[in-house]
Amino acid sequence: MPKVTVKIDPSECILAANCVGIEPKLFQIGQPSHVELIDANGMVQGTEYTFEAVDAQVELIEEAVDSCPTRAISMEVAV
Ligand code: SF4
């Protein structure tokens, strides 16, 4: 499975929640000022998280990256 690193730039996030709507298993609104990342067990991982993802989830994360109006999400995929 590809290893994915997802990062949120808290200074850019405006809590538009597009990402939460697309992939609520990874993005969560738990802070007053920015979105945060959660793992498969719902544990908060902060604004940077590396994990193994199936291809379908990688596609969802790419969709979330593209949907963010302020480009606050970035991701790297290592196969
Ligand atoms: S889509 Fe972008 S601005 Fe909206 S909550 Fe997600 S990271 Fe923040």
* H-assigned helices in 1-79: 18-22, 55-67
Confidence of residue 46 (pLDDT cuts 50, 70, 90): very high
CATH code of the domain occupying 3-78? 3.30.70.20
Cβ neighbours of residue 9 under 8 Å, at least 6 residues apart? Answer: 47, 72, 73, 74
What integer pLDDT is reported at residue 79 of this predicted model? 78
Pick from 11, 73, 74, 75 the residue to mutate for probing ligand 1's pocket: most ligand atoms within 8 Å of its CB: 73
Q: Which residues pair with 51 in a beta bridge?
A: 4
Indicate if the pLDDT at residue 20 is higher than 90.
yes
The C-alpha atoms of residue 65 and residue 35 are separated, in whole angstroms, by 13
Residue closest via CA to ligand 1's atom 8 equals: 13
pLDDT in tens, 58-74: 999 999 999 999 999 99
- Could you tell me if 58 and 2 are in contact, meaning their C-beta atoms sit under 8 angstroms apart? yes
What integer pLDDT is reported at residue 70 of this predicted model? 98
Pick from 12, 14, 25 the residue to mutate for probing ligand 1's pocket: most ligand atoms within 8 Å of its CB: 14
Residue closest via CA to ligand 1's atom 4 equals: 16
The C-alpha atoms of residue 28 and residue 13 are separated, in whole angstroms, by 12
Indicate if the pLDDT at residue 34 is higher than 90.
yes
Sketch the domain layout of the chain as residue ranges: 3-78
